[in-house]
Each structure stands twice: as structure tokens, then as C-alpha cells.
A and B are shown apart, each in its own frame.
Chain A
């Protein structure tokens, strides 16, 4: 079975600073990896995903993530934080299958201060 570990339940940055949210996964087969974002009192929406091909994946709102097989990591970054980035971020993993489901990490709350 696959699993996801997100380091840090809360990350605080200043507006304009680099955002780095960490995600490590465990999977016995090559995984598919996702980052979802949840704004207050809303459902989750996809930020970006890695399936195959280029290991550096760009998503919405200036976020990107790099799949590093040797480190079993899929960290999320953004060069310059905006106040509007304050939200909870979830890393998730799935594997190729006819009936595949997502396994989510516990989430990281991003706090952005002026």
C-alpha cells in the first residue's frame, strides 16, 4: 500500500518569501503524485500532478513541484508567497490500476504574514 508523509502541519512565511512544502511518499510501484489546495470552508482543488514524463511539474498560481525518485519526494514550491496563498495543502499519491484511489497526507497549513 502507498502512503504520504507531509513534514510540518503548519508553515509560516512572509509575503514575498519562498514557499516550500515538503512531501515524501512510499510506493512499491512508480506512483502518480498530486498536490491539492483547500481554501477555508471550501472543497479541494487540484494544484498540479505528476503522472509521467517531465519531473518538474508546473501548476496553477505559480506553484511547481519536482518528482525525485531517488529521494521519494514531491516537494511543492513557489518563489514568492502572496497573502492569497494562505490555505491548507495536501499531497496525495495513487498507483496505476484499474480501480486506483488516492491516499492523502495529513495536510500542511500555509500561513502568510504581511
Chain B
């Protein structure tokens, strides 16, 4: 099993550009999550999904969009990149979402917006 994979590993965007961060998991997990990590701030939840076709906002959803058309994939879309979106983005998944499950994380995507 590859686990949770993310592409790209690193990207530089100009202000106003758009991009999609890809995330895939091969563990047949129902729940998937997107976090952003900023230095000294821990991880903040952007969006999560409880299954194909069902998504919900997390703590910091502004400026982002998600979709989940399959169990395996959970892409994160940035429509108009802003310097405040410079961050490291992590995708994670878990089998259920009752609170006690382990979340499995991808290796991250480092995004720089200039």
C-alpha cells in the first residue's frame, strides 16, 4: 500500500493564479482531511469529507474549495492564490470519523505564493 500520496511536493505560484493540490489514498478510508501547517501554529483543518460526494468546512476554509467524487481522491483547489496561502498542506485519511481513529498523513505539499 502506498498509503496517502500527495502531488506536487513543492510549487511556486504567482498571486492570483490557481492550482489543485492532489491527494489520494489506497486504504479504502471513508474520511479524508486537508490541513495547513504554518510555523508555530500547528495544523489547522481546512476541509474534510466523510465519503464520496460529502464535504464540510473546517476551521480555515476561506480561499479553498474541495470535491470528492471517489473514495480514493480528495483534491484541494486554490482559485485565486494569495500570499497568506503560503504554507505546507497535508492531506490525511481515516477509516471512520468517530474521533478515536488514527489519521494517516501524506508527505505534504509546500506552496509558496509570490
* Chain A-chain B contacts (Cβ-Cβ < 8 Å), number: 63
* Inter-subunit contact B98/A43 (CB<8 Å): no
* A97 CB contacts on chain B under 8 angstroms: 97-99
User: Which listed residue, A43, A90, A104, A105, touches B107 by the CB 8 Å rule?
Assistant: A43
CA A96 to CA B100, docked complex, whole Å:
7
* B107 CB contacts on chain A under 8 angstroms: 41-43
CA A97 to CA B96, docked complex, whole Å:
11
CA A45 to CA B97, docked complex, whole Å:
17
CB distance from B5 to the nearest CB of A (A): 10
Given known pairs A43-B107, A107-B40, the reply for A100 and B98 (CB within 8 Å) is yes
- B87 is an interface residue with CB less than 8 A from chain A: no
Given known pairs A42-B107, A43-B105, A43-B108, the reply for A9 and B97 (CB within 8 Å) is no
- A44 is an interface residue with CB less than 8 A from chain B: yes
Query: How many residues on A have C-beta within 8 angstroms of the other chain's C-beta atoms?
Result: 26
Interface of A is mostly: loop
| A interface footprint on B71-114 (CB within 8 Å = 1, 0 otherwise) | 00000000000000000001010000111101101111000000
* Inter-subunit contact A104/B33 (CB<8 Å): no
CA A67 to CA B100, docked complex, whole Å:
15
User: Which listed residue, B40, B41, B45, B105, touches A101 by the CB 8 Å rule?
Assistant: B45
Chain B: residues with CB nearer than 8 A to chain A? 4, 33, 35, 40-45, 48, 50, 56, 58, 90, 92, 97-100, 102-103, 105-108
